Each structure stands twice: as C-alpha cells, then as structure tokens.
Chain A
Amino acid sequence: MHNKNLFGVSALFDSPDKIISVAKKTTDAGYKKFDINTPYPVHGMEKAMKLKPSKLGFITLVFGLTGSFIALLFMYWTMSVDYPMIISGKPFFALPAFIPVTFEVTVLLATLATVIGMITFFFKFPENHHPLHDTNYMKQVSKDKFGLVIESADKNFELEKVKEFLQSLNPIAIEEIYYQEKANNSLLEPRFLTLLFAIALVTSGTTYFVLNKLLYMTPFDWMSTQLKLNPQKPSDLFSDGYGMRSPVKGTVAQGFMPYLAKGNPNPNSNDLLENPYLITEENIKLGKSKYLTFCSPCHGNFGDGDSRLRGQFPNPPSLHSKRAQDFKDGMIYHVIVNGQNSMPSYAPYLNHEERWSVVNYIRVLQRAKNASESDIQFAKKENVKNASN
C-alpha cells in the first residue's frame, strides 16, 4: 500500500480506573493532540484530560432566547398589526394567551440548535472516513475496552518515544494507525448524479400528479361531488331521475297566481283584474321608479310617446290618448303582462305589486298632463300650504 500516512499510535486498557490514570499521565507528559475513547462516558475524565467545560450551553441560550423573541414578535405582528381581530374580548396583544406558543417555539429552537450545533460544529460530523474507523482499536473501544490515541499531529510526537511512553503504561495492545489520502470529488460521481436525477424526477412527477390529477379525484376535489340538487342535472334523489321538480298538482306557489287572460289580445272585460292597490305616496314612488326604468325608453318620461328610441322601433302610442285614458286599470295591467303589438311582455321584470304601481303611476301622469281647472287650483293651494310650512 502506498500513500500511507501515520495518524497516530493507540493503546488499549481494560479498566476505567486505569484509563483515568493513563489520561492524567498523558496530559502530564505534555501531549495535547490525544484522545481517550471509551464505550461510555467515564466519570472524572474531563478533569483527568484537563478539558475546558463544554460551551454547548451558549448555543442553547442564544437560540432559545431567539425562539422566544421571534415567536412573540410574530404573534404580535399577526394578531395586532397585520390582521387585528377581537377574539373572546381579549386585547390584540394578549400576552397570557401567547405564552404557550412562545414556550413551545423556545424549546423547539433551543433543542434543535443544541443538537445540530453539537453534531456539526462541535463534532464536525458526519465523518465516516476518520482514520480510526474500521481499526481493531475502534472495535475494542466500541465494546468494552478503554483506549488512548496520541496523534502524529502533536508537536511533541516522535514515533519511538511515543511507543516507549505507551509501553510504560502497561497496555493490553499497541497499534499504529494509518490513513490513505482520498482524492476524488464525490460530487461528480455518476452514482451521486443519478441519485440527484432520480430525486428531481420523483419530486416533479409527484407534484404534477398531485396538482393536476389527485386534486380532481374524490375525496380530494373540494367536495364538488355531493348528494345535492344541481339545476339542469339528473339526480338520484327522486325516482324519476329529474333534479328539477315541477310543483305539486293543484297547488300554486305564493305570488305566482296564474293570469287567466294571458295570451288574449282583446280580453273580455270580465277577465280583467281589479286594481288591489290604493294610490299612496309609497306606491307611486315605486311605480315611478319602475316606469322610468322599463317604460320610459319607449313611452317617454311623461308618457307622451316621445321615445328616446324614436326611429329605431315603431313609435309607441301616447299614453294620453282618449283610448288610453279610457282603459280600465285592469287593461293597462293586461298590456304590461301580455304585451301589445310590438311591445313585449314585462311580466318577467315586474312582480305583481310593481305592475300595479306602474298602472297607478300612469294614472298620475294622465291626470297631471290633462289637468282640469279645479286640479290646477287645488295644486296651487297645496303649493302655498307647503311653502308656508
């Protein structure tokens, strides 16, 4: 074997008492780069090896405090700044209620930092290629022996002298430990690259599957398949397979009383309805708004037939003609529901009350446009009364 470098010389001992004294003697002999390997922590070894107390606690402290601070700050920001909301009458910054989470985050961060810090920073792990691995020495100290290694990196290291020193300690065995330089770049190994490729393939494949397929399967499809009635869709809930239902025979839904004169251009005056609504201020207001919305585009704002759409449709008749003035309320209602000539039915847009309100409003317009002398006198008196109030 070429390229063999000496890592150090090891010696094995068989009792904890012995290894403590060996550690003391090695320290006293002035060796610095040495190590004691034992299958379990032997009490008093730190003192014997003159090790400084572990500084691991500082990592724990720093990260623990960081955890508390971050948790509190985050809860303050989310609950008091970003989306403040009053919950059970608590203040936005409800410190007592934030303590459990603060505690948990502190413990979590402190623990993880301690362990990860210890393994990577204090131990420099993972390190499976250390020269001591796979030696007989390591096998023995792993089991039930206690070992000492003096490394060649020590500035007092001289092979013969070290061996002599170790011999003087009465060990069970002495072993020289060698290592080989490793010189290949493991990042470019084909096996590693294949692994990377496989990971990329699996990750992207899974993501594609989840986002494009899985989320559209029951039960992951956001409850889009449910036992409920959908318009225009068949349904298993009824024996005839129809989702949409027609009313029970012989019944009428409220507000949907059928109109008997429907479809008849010249209804019999007996078929026409009586106006069930009194002319009240409220009723006229409703009628006005509906008239201006639905009727005025053709009939004009005051019923003169001066449509804004003049020229694009056949001109509608004035609502102030003799014929229109002589219409019964029921007839105007009939025209709204049924349409007349080129006027379509407005039944879909106006409900029962609104149609009658429009009728009443048309009556108001007719009276206002064709006022008699007494009406004018009356209106003048009303105006004076209103002005003096």
Chain B
Amino acid sequence: MNIDYSQEAPAVAGRLTLAEIEELVAKPLDTRPDKKYFIALSISGSALMIGAICLALSFYYGLGLWGNNQPIGWAFDIVNFVFWVGIGHAGTLISAILFLLRQKWRTGIARFAEAMTIFAVMCAGIFPAIHTGRPWLDGYLLPYPNQHSLWVNFTSPLLWDVFAVSTYFTVSLVFWYIGLIPDFATLRDRTSSKIKKTIYSLFSLGWRHSSRHWQHYEKSYMLLAGFATPLVLSVHTIVSFDFAVSILPGWHTTIFPPYFVAGAIFSGFAMVVTVLVFVRKIFDLENIITMDHLEKMNKVILATGMMVGYAYGMEFFIAWYSGVQAEQFVFVNRAFGPYAWAYWIMVSCNVIFPQLFWVKKFRRSIPVMMVVVILVNVGMWFERFVITVTSLHRDFLPSSWAYYTPTLYDFGILIGSFGLFFTLVILFTKSLPVVSISEVKAVAEGAQPSHHGGVVNA
C-alpha cells in the first residue's frame, strides 16, 4: 500500500469519459428496482411504521407514555433532536465549506451528503415538534399577529432554534435543488419515457446548459456556499445555546458552541461514510466515490473526534479550575455516577476507537471503517444523552434526584426516526442522481481547457 500523498489523487478514478460518468450515475434511475431494494425498503418502512404508531399513541394518550418526568424533563426527544441535527451538518460542510476551499473531491459525495442533510433535518425537526405534546399547535412558535396580542420571546434560545432549523432546512433544500437543475436537464434529454420526461422537464425548469446561464449559476452557487457556511456553524451553535444559555451546571458552558459544531461534523461524517460505503458498492460508483475520498473523510473524522475529546477533557478541567462545587459534582457524577456506563460508552466510541485512523491501512480498509463509523454514530448519540440526562437527573435538591429510564415508546420513536431517514435515503437512490452529474463531469480528467481561457489551435 504505497500512496503518494505529495500529489493530489484525481477526483474521478478509472479515466472515465463524460458519457461513461453520466451512464454510471443515471443507471439506477433507468433500471427497475430489484428484490434487494424492496427488502431494504420494507425493513426501513417497518421501522418508520413502528415510530408512527408510537407517536400516534403518544398523541392520543399523552406524553405520559414517555419516560420523561421530573427532574428529567428533557430526554430522548431532545437527545434525538440534537443527534439528527448534528448528522445533517456533514452535508452542508461538504457542499459549502469544501466548495469554498476548492476541494475537488467533494463533488463525488456532495449530492448524497446534501440529501442526507435534508433527511436528517427532517428527522430532527420532528422531535422539538412532538416535544411540545400537541404538535398541531406548533404554529404558536411563529410570530404572527394573533387574538392574544402576544408575540414569541425573541430573547429565548428555543425560539432561535425555530428560526435556525427552519432556515437551515430551507437553505439546504434550495442549495440541493440548484445543484439538481442541470442534472434534471441531462436526465430529461436522455430518457425515452414520456412520463419521466415530463417530470424531469418540470424540475429542470427548461435548463439549456447555456454558458450565459452557467455564469450566473456558478455565481449563485458561490453566494449560497458563502451563506451556508456561517449558517451551518450558527445552527449547531444555537442548538448548543439551548443548553449553554441556561444556568444548569453541566449545561452552562462557554465551550458548548464550538464543541457542538465539531461533534456535529464528527457524527455527520460518520453517517455519510456509513451510507456511502454501501452506496458505492451497490451502484458500482467505486470510481466516482473513490477510496481516496473515504480516506479523506476518515481523516476529518479523526480530527473532529480529537476536538470532541479535547472538549470532554476541558469540561473537567474547567469544573475543577472554576472551583464551583455544583459544577464539580455534576462532572464527577457524570463519569462515576449512575450513568457512568453511558459516559464511558461515549468516551470510548468517540475518542478511543477513532484513533485507529492514525494507521493508513485502517483508514483505507472498508471493514475497519464500518466498525469505527458505526461506533462513532453510537458514541455521538450517547454524547447527547450524557449531556442532557446526566445534567438533569441530580439537580440542586437531592430529594428530587431520580434515574431516567426510557419506555418502549421512547425507543419506538427513535427507531421510527431511523426508519424515516433510511426510507428517504433508499427512495432517493432510485429516484434522483446520487452523484452530481454536471459537477463530476467538470472535474473529470481533460474536462477543463488545458489552460484557462488560452487560445488552442482549432
């Protein structure tokens, strides 16, 4: 295994021609789904139904079916919300930040990661909505003139959340759709089915691959990337404010915003790798989503994993250094109290196992990668659990201390959110191009003029 890191690996391997790239990406859309597809869809669909049934029962009988109770008022619902919002961050990071940094390798994975962002934010959005207990009244979260002549509290982080998550979803969706327009046009021009052609025409808006349009298109992509970058940082920052702006020991921490953002990228990349490993295999995309790309993502996972580890350590240091007894108690209780098991699952999954990626061989090994990223997913879910539940379960009044145990409904809704996510991912792979055709074509070998704008003999 000798890889020359001094030279950038080509973004598209195997010297594919433009037509071959298009053929490869469009193939899943042209062929009928096979048996395996339906098996996968039925599994994820069943998980989704479990969640739907648990939710329906929760609304009918009330949230007493969940494990939340005083003093642990925030539990699975908020844990899952933060977890899913975090998953979403990888997509925007890949599509916007890596775009601004001119990382060509992003093209192969950007579309899929953006789709995962949208699906993850959809999953995330469910939780604060159901946390209110009567989600059909969630319109009250928006500032609108009403008969109570009341307004929402603009100084509350929970209200900032409403704005941040809804803006994030809208901007991600728009960004994703802008990327899809040229691909819809390409699909429109290659399909022979009349129904598909109508649908693709509708969504392509009549795109003609005109250079006069490409000029504005590239500009808009740049502007959107410029906005999405601070946006993605703001979203998890604001999510962390939900905790950090309170005065609860364990939550009231200035390190939370950067720590949450690093954790979000960490968990998001882990989820992207988890899914892409399957996708590249199933849809023969090994030349477009190459091992080099996966390796680069593993490096990001290693780096952000260590940032998260640093934050774990720093929280303890500050608890000791500040000399605040309540703070010290919370952190000792976190690591050695009744929820020590959760804390140590978190530390080992997020800090210890990713260290395997220091070794090049492990970074480029699919089985090792799979084990590590799944552990990271588990670890990051537990991180949110540890932050939320352990800070609450032993509050200032020892007589009200309690131990939180989730009920079957809590687990059902968690399973349901995974069901929703994977159902959407599976449907996406067969209905839209999972890789951006026009972007990958643009970074293929020989796709750009030998020197920009230079006159070459015709």
Query: A residues touching B (Cβ–Cβ < 8 Å)?
Result: 15-18, 20-25, 35-49, 51, 54, 56-57, 60, 74-75, 78-79, 82-83, 87-88, 90, 94, 97-98, 100-101, 103-105, 107-108, 110-112, 114-115, 118-119, 122-123, 125-130, 132-133, 138-139, 141-144, 169-170, 218-220
Contacts and interface: CB of A to CB of B under 8 A. Distances in A.
Given A40-B438, A44-B449, A98-B154, A20 B211 contact: no
Contacts of B207: 125
Contacts of B278: none
B358 interface: no
Given A41-B442, A126-B206, A143-B19, 9 more contacts: A20-B449, A54-B216, A54-B219, A78-B154, A83-B150, A97-B155, A101-B160, A138-B189, A143-B22
Interface stretch (B220-228, B325-333, B403-411): B220-228
B258 to A, nearest CB: 16
Contact of A101 (B19, B22, B163, B218): B163
22 contacts: A16-B446, A16-B448, A20-B456, A40-B214, A41-B215, A42-B449, A44-B452, A54-B215, A57-B223, A88-B155, A111-B175, A118-B217, A122-B216, A123-B213, A125-B206, A128-B205, A133-B206, A138-B209, A141-B209, A144-B18, A170-B458, A219-B59
Nearest to A36: B211
Given A90-B155, A139-B189, A104 B167 contact: yes
A46 B211 CA distance: 8
Interface in B45-73: 59-60, 62
B211 A35 contact: yes
Nearest to A218: B60
Interface in B192-206: 201-202, 204-206
A211 to B, nearest CB: 13
A275 to B, nearest CB: 48
Interface in B251-271: none
B432 interface: no
A83 B149 contact: yes
Nearest to B189: A142
B354 interface: no
Contacts, number: 220
Contacts of A49: 211-212
A39 B209 contact: yes
A127 B181 CA distance: 13
B213 A115 contact: no
A97 B207 CA distance: 43
Given A20-B449, A87-B155, A142 B185 contact: yes
A37 B209 contact: yes
Contact of B231 (A22, A46, A107, A141): A107
Interface in B230-254: 230-231, 234, 238, 241
B186 A42 contact: no
Contacts of B458: 18, 21-22, 25, 169-170
